[in-house]
């Protein structure tokens, strides 16, 4: 339904779609510009960096496609239109996920998968069956982790509608961080991203396995495959936070 | 002049009320500044000097760029013109006894002044505490820098004004303003500092108006431009500001002929 509404202004939609694609493409070009000056970043060569970048962006924008409706909750809370969703005889979360959907969000997936494809083709990897299977697995876990983050965003917006921009640092900040080797950010931040807010499982941990790099933290190799555990834990936490937030919600009565 | 100062003050006070958004902006500018600083550290660790910038220069550039996002509205258009066209309020704006373009410039400068106080200082100070930045001690450099920022803000306004005015023809301006924002991100040196741009692309970026936004003020701040070169930077910014404002004037005149104010 939201898709159809966006299609009503076709020229505008095509333009915004092109913009979204262009923005993502120029970010990708930015990486190429950086690699025009140096041969590796944090021990990652260009194709390896593109693989990492591609997995992060593909996972993020797929999650954006599926879950990002939570970002618009603050506006609904302020306007009082959230109540409209609450009284419909459909689950509240799916309604929120689909809120304000626009086909524009498909566009950034193009440069994301292009980067991933170049990375897969160019990285010096001996592709075994397990390594090949790890690529879609990485995306799946990545989408799951970001999805849980989007739910947390929704919960936060219900509780603190005036400070909704605060969560941008987690969502878009997370997207940006995971696009580069986590080893750049130093030991403490890496520990936090591995065991605290587990963004390391979006792509970093499985990518270490695929590309055959050692974890600078020296964690056991079993952790490369621990993504589902951390993603499930984060989903549990996010859903709990969501339930609490819904309970906290007081309608403006409009 | 007094009336424009009053308009600026009103805009300043209006943005003062959006404290939640301001806090979110400060946090995002700080977080993104830190991530970019880590990436730049990795790049400069392999080459001590790129395009005349050392590591401390590059890190300073990163946090200056983050500090400019608010005042120069580098990521969003930030002008209310399109929304007021759709609601019809633009009729009131055109009717005001002040010049239309200058009215919006005054509003935007008020917004920018607030953004410098509310959004620029904290991320830069945190950046300076966490990383080794190149901060000038000479107050004259600071003064020269602030002039460059002021002129850059006018260039930024002139660019965003042109994009926003497209709504007079298109009603939905998002395509055009979005494209303008993308160009600003790239040629303004927000995605990658302009010093990393290769040969011809670097030369091109340095003569386009977007160089006025972050690159030139940063060059002044870092002491890459001193004496006459500072004057050269000002002339460059003034040249683009005048050119783009005149283009905006032309567009405004044509837009006036298109307006049909309904009812009232």
The pTM of this model reads 0.91
Q: How far apart (Å, rounded) are the C-alpha atoms in residues A59 and A116? A: 11
pLDDT, tens digit, 9 for 90 and up, residues B105-147: 999 999 999 999 989 999 999 999 999 999 999 999 999 999 9
- pLDDT of A254 over the 60 cut: no
* CB neighbourhood size of A225 (10 A): 16
Tokens of B241: 């500001």
pLDDT, tens digit, 9 for 90 and up, residues B188-237: 999 999 999 998 999 999 999 999 999 999 999 999 999 899 999 999 99
pLDDT value, residue A67: 85
- pLDDT of A125 over the 60 cut: yes
CB A68 within 8 A of CB A108: no
Which sign does the torsion angle of CA B213, B242, B11, A161 carry? negative
pLDDT value, residue B262: 63
Binning pLDDT at 50, 70 and 90, where does residue B13 land? confident
Which chain B residues contact residue A166 at CB under 8 A? 20, 23-24, 27
pLDDT, tens digit, 9 for 90 and up, residues A182-223: 999 999 999 999 999 999 999 999 999 999 999 999 889 899
A52: closest CA among A5, A1, A119? A119
Across chain A, what does the average pLDDT equal?
Answer: 88
pLDDT value, residue B157: 97
Is A5 in the B-facing interface, judged by CB distances under 8 Å?
no
Beta bridge partners of B53: B50
* Range list of β-strands (E), A76-169: none
- Mutating which of A56, A185, A193 best tests the B interface, going by the most B Cβ atoms within 10 A? A185
Beta bridge partners of A45: A40
pLDDT value, residue B71: 94
In chain B, the percentage of residues whose pLDDT exceeds 90 is 71
Binning pLDDT at 50, 70 and 90, where does residue B154 land? very high
pLDDT value, residue A84: 77
Beta bridge partners of A40: A45
Q: How far is B97 from chain A (nearest CA, A)?
A: 34
Nearest CB to B191 within list A26, A39, A180? A26
pLDDT value, residue A1: 66
Which sign does the torsion angle of CA B160, B162, B164, B170 carry? negative
Nearest CB to A34 within list B23, B43, B181? B43
pLDDT value, residue A30: 92
A40-41 and A44-45 strand pairing:
antiparallel
pLDDT, tens digit, 9 for 90 and up, residues A39-73: 999 899 999 999 999 999 999 999 988 888 788 88
Tell me if residue A60 falls in helix, strand or coil.
Answer: helix
In chain A, the percentage of residues whose pLDDT exceeds 90 is 56
Tokens of A130: 């397990």
Which residues fall within 8 angstroms of residue B108, CB to CB, at 6 or more apart?
A: B11, B73, B78, B79, B153, B157, B160
* CB neighbourhood size of A250 (10 A): 8
Binning pLDDT at 50, 70 and 90, where does residue A74 land? confident
pLDDT value, residue A118: 95
* CB neighbourhood size of A239 (10 A): 15
Cα dist from A91 to A85, A86, B84, B134, whole Å = 9, 8, 36, 54
pLDDT, tens digit, 9 for 90 and up, residues A134-181: 999 999 999 999 999 999 988 888 888 777 778 888 899 999 999 999
Tokens of A249: 């919600």
pLDDT value, residue A129: 94
Lowest mean pLDDT across A1-10, A90-99, A236-245, B194-203: A1-10
Q: Which chain B residue shows the shortest CA-CA distance from A160?
A: B20
Which chain B residues contact residue A160 at CB under 8 A? 20
Binning pLDDT at 50, 70 and 90, where does residue B263 land? low
CB contact under 8 Å between A184 and B41, yes or no, is: yes
B32: closest CA among B57, B56, B62? B62
Q: How far apart (Å, rounded) are the C-alpha atoms in residues B245 and B154? A: 9
Q: Which chain B residue shows the shortest CA-CA distance from A167?
A: B24
Which residues fall within 8 angstroms of residue A211, CB to CB, at 6 or more apart?
A: A44, A48, A51, A123, A125
Tokens of A53: 């970048």
Nearest CB to A22 within list B31, B182, B198? B182
pLDDT value, residue A15: 82
B67: closest CA among B149, B177, B185? B149
- Mutating which of A5, A7, A14, A15 best tests the B interface, going by the most B Cβ atoms within 10 A? A15
Is A12 in the B-facing interface, judged by CB distances under 8 Å?
yes
Question: What letter would DSSP give residue B120?
Answer: I
State the burial class of residue A188 (Cβ atoms within 10 Å of its Cβ: 0-12, 13-18, 19+). exposed
Binning pLDDT at 50, 70 and 90, where does residue B63 land? very high
- Mutating which of A9, A21, A38 best tests the B interface, going by the most B Cβ atoms within 10 A? A38
Alpha helices in A68-108 (DSSP H): 73-79, 82-86, 92-98
């Amino acid at each position: 339904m939201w898709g159809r509404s966006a299609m009503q202004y076709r020229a505008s939609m095509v333009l915004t779609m092109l913009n979204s694609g262009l923005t993502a493409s120029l970010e990708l070009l930015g990486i190429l510009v950086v690699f025009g000056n140096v041969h590796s970043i944090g021990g990652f060569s260009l194709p390896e960096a593109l693989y990492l970048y591609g997995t992060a962006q593909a996972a993020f924008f797929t999650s954006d496609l599926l879950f990002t409706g939570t970002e618009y909750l603050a506006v609904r809370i302020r306007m009082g239109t959230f109540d409209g969703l609450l009284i419909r005889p459909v689950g509240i979360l799916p309604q929120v996920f689909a809120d304000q959907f626009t086909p524009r969000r498909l566009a950034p997936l193009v440069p994301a998968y292009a980067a991933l494809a170049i990375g897969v083709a160019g990285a010096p990897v001996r592709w075994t069956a397990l390594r090949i299977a790890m690529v879609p697995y990485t995306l799946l876990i990545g989408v799951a982790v970001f999805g849980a983050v989007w739910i947390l965003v929704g919960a936060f917006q219900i509780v603190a509608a005036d400070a909704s921009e605060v969560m941008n640092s987690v969502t878009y900040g997370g997207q940006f961080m995971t696009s580069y080797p986590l080893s750049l950010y130093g030991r403490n931040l890496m520990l936090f991203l591995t065991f605290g807010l587990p963004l390391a499982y979006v792509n970093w941990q499985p990518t270490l396995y695929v590309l055959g790099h050692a974890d600078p933290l020296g964690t056991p190799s079993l952790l490369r495959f621990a993504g589902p555990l951390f993603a499930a834990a984060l989903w549990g936490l996010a859903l709990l936070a969501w339930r609490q937030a819904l309970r906290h919600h007081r309608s403006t009565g409009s | 002049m007094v009336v424009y100062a009053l308009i600026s003050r009103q805009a300043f006070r209006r943005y003062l009320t959006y404290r939640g958004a301001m806090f979110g902006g400060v946090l995002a500018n700080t977080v993104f500044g830190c991530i970019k600083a880590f990436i730049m550290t990795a790049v400069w660790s392999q080459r001590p000097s790129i395009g005349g910038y050392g590591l401390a220069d590059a890190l300073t550039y990163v946090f200056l760029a983050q500090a400019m996002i608010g005042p120069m509205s580098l990521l969003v258009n930030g002008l209310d013109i399109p929304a007021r066209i759709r609601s019809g309020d633009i009729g009131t704006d055109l009717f005001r006894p002040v010049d239309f373009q200058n009215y919006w410039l005054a509003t935007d400068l008020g917004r920018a002044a607030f953004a410098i106080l509310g959004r620029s200082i904290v991320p830069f100070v945190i950046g300076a505490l966490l990383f080794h930045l190149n901060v000038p001690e000479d107050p004259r450099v600071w003064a020269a820098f602030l002039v460059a920022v002021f002129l850059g803000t006018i260039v930024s306004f002139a660019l965003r004004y042109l994009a926003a005015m497209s709504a007079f023809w298109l009603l939905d301006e998002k395509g055009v303003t979005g494209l303008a924002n993308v160009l600003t991100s790239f040629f303004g040196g927000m995605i990658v500092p302009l010093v990393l741009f290769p040969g011809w692309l670097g030369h091109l970026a340095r003569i386009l108006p977007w160089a006025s936004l972050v690159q030139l003020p940063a060059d002044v701040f870092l002491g890459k431009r001193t004496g006459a070169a500072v004057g050269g930077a000002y002339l460059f910014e003034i040249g683009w500001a005048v050119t783009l404002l005149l283009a905006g004037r032309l567009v405004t005149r044509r837009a006036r002929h298109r307006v049909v104010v309904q009812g009232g």
